[in-house]
Structure 1
Amino acid sequence: MLTGEHSANGWAIEKGADIGGSIWTRPIPGSPVTAALRIGDVAVVLVHVVRRFHYEIGTLNRGEVVGYKSPSTVTGYETNHASGTAVDIRPGWYPPGVRGGFLPHELTVLRDVLGDCEGVVGWGGDRSHPDEGHFQIEVGPGDPRLAKVAAKIRGWNNSPGKGAGVLIAIS
């Protein structure tokens, strides 16, 4: 199912999702949303990002999260979609090139989510040409930081009162 090419973040690009490769449609717990993501640690981390968005920024509906995109439709950093290592949340709400799509308290939550991810996830709002609905894995395959963050999130998922859906204190 591989194309022989790699995405901007170094992961293997696949020809499609749900066709026997490493990219499968995953549910976002607590929501009606699904996203086609690279299974394993990548999916654990990106599902966490989307789930916290859903719980703490805005309720997501079907069709408001895009994971995998065909390699023929993406270039540059967007190739990370073709490797199952990126998601766009509400892409029509946050057009590329535009800043200011989030209120201050929403930005606080976004920064907290990125803090959870310890540099493993990048936000398109931090790009020089912003894409505020875009989140991607920033590390390549085999980077131990990804496994560390995924293990932490798995632990939260198994511990009530931890992880997504837990309110943060804003001072």
Structure 2
Amino acid sequence: MSATPASPLSRRGLLLRAAAVAAATAVLPHSQALASPAYAAEPRDYAFPKAVREGVARAEARNERLLTGTRSANGWDMETAADRGGSIATRPVPGTPVTDLQVRLGAPETVLVHLVRRFHYEIAGLQPGEAVGWTAPKGLRGPARNLASGTAVRVRPGHYPPGTKGGYFPLELAVLRDILAELDGVVRWGGDDRAVDEALFYLAAGPGDARLTAVAERLRARETTAGGGVGTLVDVHDKRRRSAAEALARRQRNAA
């Protein structure tokens, strides 16, 4: 007589299984964790600990409260609020007066904070409030929707109104292009879009993009190296750097 096939796991069941496995792995050696009920048993055979069930319930409630159910133009989940236990939180931009940049935690934060720091040091000194990250989704259109996922920033928006071109002097534009090239194209400038927005910078890499992870890791490593972080003198007219910046600019403009 053949065995009755196991029924598919529900999303909640998968969350519970994952949470229980994580808890078991944290306290047991690897071999014991694999043999533990959290790993081996079917959901119907194992009573998940109360703490695990409550944790999953809180996570589901948080997602229900914060996620809009849609993604921004670059593929990241948009959220209805920052600093509410979700993926978007307020972060300072070290070395600048900007102390309240709301960005998506992890690699997006590393990359966007780096961009804002270089802008402050090499293009124009920022004042409090001149770097704006997360913005409520309602009313956002096109690439600006990336703000609602915490994967974009507006820098000095009062100086570069949407739809207006030519807001940067030539040297400032050269630095801007150098910053984008340093980030290997994982950030796009709104000045290259058809609907021009020269204050807007946003991730051009979606969740799980290996390029974004690699750039963030490189930036973090550089910050721990003497003379390697933001504030170090950069020659944006160096032939190699200028060539890379111009090549990226052509690719991103052509992709508009």
Instruction: Report the AA paired with residue 184 of structure 2.
Output: E
Aligned to 1:14: 79
| Cross-structure match for 1:59 | 125
Of 115, 134, 141, the match for 1:49: 115
Bigger mean CA deviation after superposition, 57-66 or 37-46:
57-66
Name the amino acid aligned to 2:101: A
- Please name the residue that 1:155 is paired with: 221
State which of 81, 95, 98 in structure 2 corresponds to 1:30.
95
One-letter code of the match for 1:152? R
In 1, Cα distance between the equivalents of 2:183 and 2:114?
9
Kindly tell me the number of residue pairs found equivalent between the two proteins: 171
Unaligned regions of 5+ residues in structure 1, if any?
Answer: none
Larger Cα-atom Rg: 2
Conserved 8 A contact 2:175-2:236:
no
- Name the one with the larger strand percent: 1
Q: 1:92 to 1:161 in 2, by over 3 A?
A: same
Q: For 1:153, what is the secondary structure of its paired residue?
A: helix
Identity of aligned residues (%): 53
The residue that corresponds to 2:154 in the other structure is: 88
* Runs (5+) with no aligned partner, structure 2: 1-65, 238-256
Deviations 1:19-41 (A, max 9, x none): 11000011000011031000000
Pairwise CA distance, 1:73 = 3.0
RMSD between aligned residues: 1.0
Q: TM-score, normalised by structure 1?
A: 0.96
Q: Which has the higher contact order (CA 8 A, sep 6+)?
A: 1
Alpha-carbon deviation of 1:87? 0.1
1:97 corresponds to 2:163: yes
Segments ≥4 residues shifted beyond 3 Å: none
- Quick one: distance in 2 between partners of 1:59 and 1:148? 28
* Residue among 147, 157, 173 paired with 1:107: 173
| Equivalent position of 1:130 in the other structure | 196
The equivalent position to 1:68 in structure 2, one of 123, 131, 134, is: 134
